[in-house]
Structure 1
């Protein structure tokens, strides 16, 4: 079998495996964060979580597929490792950037919600009192 095909197969197996593992980890652990961002609305948190996972899969698997093609033929075992390290490194960086982007956006939404909660008084005003004279 051609070494280029071997490199492609290893790249696809590892990249898809990493993408699935990261997506499952983010989905499982991000649900609590989403629930807090969305003020405890569990159904909405589950729906947003699922949509984020689908988008994550689409973007990352699309990137993996587009990045599959190589520059040339691979003739030695050393070239397999060099090619795979470059491709997998770029895929890992893309996964990391996607994750940080999601966390950044969700944290901005969470902070906005916290600021809105802080601006509302904890108890509604009970009445109005006139200022004391001479004070």
Structure 2
């Protein structure tokens, strides 16, 4: 078997495994944020969480597939490791950027929800007083 094909198989196996691991981590821990933002609506939090995970898979697996092709033919074991380190390094950077992007968006949504809750007065207004004119 050609070393280039072996490098591709290893790249796909590791990249897909990393993508699944990061998506599961985001799903499990992001659900807490979504539940808080959506005021405890568990069904809606699960639905939004699932949609975010599907989008994460589509973007990352699409990138992994597009980045599969290589320019050079690999002729030695050293070349396999060099090609894999470059490809997996880029995939890890993309996964990290996607992860940080998801965390940022979730924290912004959560912060907005907390601010909306804080803007409501703790006691409803008791009445209205007409303004007086100063003499």
121-130 vs 61-70, which deviates more? 121-130
SS at match of 1:122: coil
63-72 vs 29-38, which deviates more? 29-38
Deviation (angstroms), 1:129: 6.6
Within 5 Å, which residues of 2 pair with 1:1-135?
Answer: 1-128=1-128
Q: TM-score, normalised by structure 1?
A: 0.91
Task: Detail structure 1 runs of 4+ shifted over 4 Å in the superposition.
Answer: none
Query: 1:13-65, CA deviations, whole angstroms, 9 ceiling, x for partnerless residues?
Result: 00011111111111112111110121211111000000011001100000000
Q: What is the alpha-carbon root mean square deviation over aligned residues?
A: 1.5
Distance in 2 (alpha carbons) for counterparts of 1:114 and 1:71: 50
Distance in 1 (alpha carbons) for counterparts of 2:44 and 2:81: 44
Give structure 1 stretches of 5+ with no counterpart.
131-135
Give structure 2 stretches of 5+ with no counterpart.
131-135
Distance in 1 (alpha carbons) for counterparts of 2:105 and 2:50: 16
Distance in 2 (alpha carbons) for counterparts of 1:116 and 1:30: 20
118-127 vs 43-52, which deviates more? 118-127
Q: TM-score, normalised by structure 2?
A: 0.91
Deviation (angstroms), 1:128: 4.8
